Structure 1
Amino acid sequence: MLNLNLDFLRYITFRASYAIILSLILSIVFGKVFIKILKRMKVGQIVREDGPKSHISKKKDIPTMGGFLILFSAIIPVLLLARFYDFYLYMGLFTLLGFGLIGFADDLLKLRGRSSKGLRGKYKFTLQSLAALLISALLYFHDESLGVIVIPFVKDYYLNIGPYFILFASFIIVGSSNAVNLTDGLDGLAIGVFAIAITGYLIFLYAASNYGFTSYLSIPYMQNIGGVIILCAALLGSSIGFLWFNSYPASIFMGDIGSISLGAILGYVAIISKQEILLVIIGFVFVIEALSVIFQVGSYKLRKKRIFRMAPIHHHFEMEGVPEPKIVIRLWIISLILTVFALSTLKLRIF
């Protein structure tokens, strides 16, 4: 009788590796079918009227709401490979799907109104804030040690913010969600930077889940986060698969259902890995994109003058005559360099 040794299924490295492979295959296999369905349903991109003129001819009516493909391709491997006694996995899925619903409502209103203006800003922000507060409160009351913040470059010193963690974590999730949403304006830009960032946090999570690594690197040990590691691995695979169709010239856009949910989950994994501060470095491109909008709006309201030719900043580079693919690849390179630098802080301690 054949005896199968399935011990390898216990290893998180094996399950995470296959989560990447399976989600990648799912997104590529179902991508073409999904694009055809969206075209048949006439779910086309609504281009902002005040955006670059080239976008009107190039990007108008390209299928949007591709975030469905990303989420589908990621969640199936998680259901097959993760163990469902992981509280942090439940909360991760809740974050992904909860913010996905907000993005879906935004996309739906844009399509129905045939306008680039969907869910009103104050309503979107309120829904995001309420969802983030609920997630942060549940996390803190489940494990109050999450209120201890790791300071990069500082050895054996942690900042305990206690219940203020709920506000701190909410700010990170909402801020990250909106930053990724603002970055999603060029073919392959947001999803490429997200794939690099989630890879960095995948490494941080794996290090935090291994007691040997945490002892050697002097970082906090996190128990029962194997499910979140698999979720991140699946999101990495589905992001690369989506990039197959979203790279220049794009055949599909992720829409707000993709950008809002991916931004939120990036903030969530930064919290679970206890590397929240490093999100400023790993997600530097997202941060700069968001700040460019804040500074542009603030400058115009205060001085009636614009800082950039157009915001977010990737549109400024377009207006300066830089080709779209070059802008995207350069921002990918910046993101990759900074993510590698952030990973070096696992061992680099100056103080």
Structure 2
Amino acid sequence: MLYHLFKYFDNVHNLPGAGMFQYISFRAAAAIIIALLIVIVFGRNIINFLRRKQIGEEIRDLGLEGQLQKKGTPTMGGVIILLAILIPVLLFGQLDNVYIQLMLVSTIWLGLIGFLDDYIKVFRHHKEGLKGRFKIVGQVGLGIIVGTTMCFSPDIVVREKTTEPVETIYLDEHGRTIADHIQRRIVSSE
């Protein structure tokens, strides 16, 4: 959002400093700082809220030390991660870029799968959460959407030929290729 706003300010009003938003390095640094601030400022509050509401998995007492340490750990902490990813991307990302759009769809889609899993564990008291087959179906569905978009979007350019053959790339001063040199070494070492 801010990308287009500051592009407008730079082009129309010639606002000093607005051109900084055209640089991806500036936007990436600002997004990192905002993500860090979101986690620092809101992370503790969200965790405390989840603890107060007793939103967490029930840990069975099997006598294992590692399991007892998890007691009281809230579930649905992925909300913090989603906020720390989505808010900076929505603020600083170039939202008309197909790669940003695919990243947003993928993040929200997988976040919803995680939310459903945690919701079933906590509120439906079903220890396993969302069944594995539904998680796989959700992930494969996302893969189909992303793959189809990448195949048919005119904004995504897939190179038909990614590399040149080795023989045509490396020529020495005598016009010999790397393959010729390798062949000579093998023959002369025998």
The answer to whether TM tops 0.5 is yes
Give the gaps of 5 or more residues in structure 1: 158-351
**What CA distance in whole angstroms lies between the structure 2 residues aligned with 1:78 and 1:6?**
18
Q: Are 2:61 and 2:68, in contact at CA under 8 Å, matched by a contact in 1?
A: no
Residue number in structure 1 paired with 2:52? 40
Q: Are 1:48 and 1:115, in contact at CA under 8 Å, matched by a contact in 2?
A: no
**What CA distance in whole angstroms lies between the structure 1 residues aligned with 2:61 and 2:158?**
44
Larger Rg: 2
Shift of 1:49: 7.9
Shift of 1:35: 1.0
Shift of 1:28: 0.7
Q: 1:106 to 1:5 in 2, by over 3 A?
A: closer
Give the residue type in structure 1 aligned to 2:125: R
Residue number in structure 1 paired with 2:149? 138
Give the residue type in structure 2 aligned to 1:59: K
**What CA distance in whole angstroms lies between the structure 2 residues aligned with 1:148 and 1:54?**
55
Q: 1:57 to 1:12 in 2, by over 3 A?
A: same
Residue number in structure 1 paired with 2:128? 117
The count of corresponding residues between Structure 1 and Structure 2 is: 151
Shift of 1:86: 0.8
Residue number in structure 1 paired with 2:82? 71
Shift of 1:55: 2.7
CA distances 1:48-71 after superposition (whole Å, capped 9, x unpaired):
788x82232110231121110111
1:95 equivalent among 106, 116, 136: 106
Q: Are 1:47 and 1:116, in contact at CA under 8 Å, matched by a contact in 2?
A: no
Q: Are 1:9 and 1:15, in contact at CA under 8 Å, matched by a contact in 2?
A: yes
Residue number in structure 2 paired with 1:167? none
Q: Secondary structure at the match of 1:98?
A: helix
Q: Are 2:55 and 2:122, in contact at CA under 8 Å, matched by a contact in 1?
A: yes
Q: 1:145 to 1:82 in 2, by over 3 A?
A: closer
Give the residue type in structure 2 aligned to 1:133: I
Give the residue type in structure 2 aligned to 1:117: E
**What CA distance in whole angstroms lies between the structure 1 residues aligned with 2:89 and 2:31?**
7
Residue number in structure 1 paired with 2:38? 26
2:29 equivalent among 17, 22, 32: 17
**What CA distance in whole angstroms lies between the structure 2 residues aligned with 1:14 and 1:41?**
39
Q: Are 1:8 and 1:14, in contact at CA under 8 Å, matched by a contact in 2?
A: yes
Residue number in structure 2 paired with 1:82? 93
Shift of 1:12: 0.6
What is the correspondence of 1:190-201 to structure 2 with a 5 Å cutoff?
none
Identity of aligned residues (%): 32
Q: Are 1:46 and 1:115, in contact at CA under 8 Å, matched by a contact in 2?
A: no
**What CA distance in whole angstroms lies between the structure 1 residues aligned with 2:161 and 2:60?**
40
Alignment of 1:61 with 2:72, yes or no, is: yes
Give the residue type in structure 2 aligned to 1:140: C
Give the gaps of 5 or more residues in structure 2: 1-14, 166-190
**What CA distance in whole angstroms lies between the structure 2 residues aligned with 1:127 and 1:48?**
29
What is the correspondence of 1:99-178 to structure 2 with a 5 Å cutoff?
99-143=110-154, 145-146=157-158, 156=164
TM-score using structure 2 length: 0.69
Q: Secondary structure at the match of 1:14?
A: helix
Shift of 1:33: 0.8
**What CA distance in whole angstroms lies between the structure 2 residues aligned with 1:113 and 1:77?**
33
What is the correspondence of 1:309-324 to structure 2 with a 5 Å cutoff?
none
Give the residue type in structure 2 aligned to 1:94: V
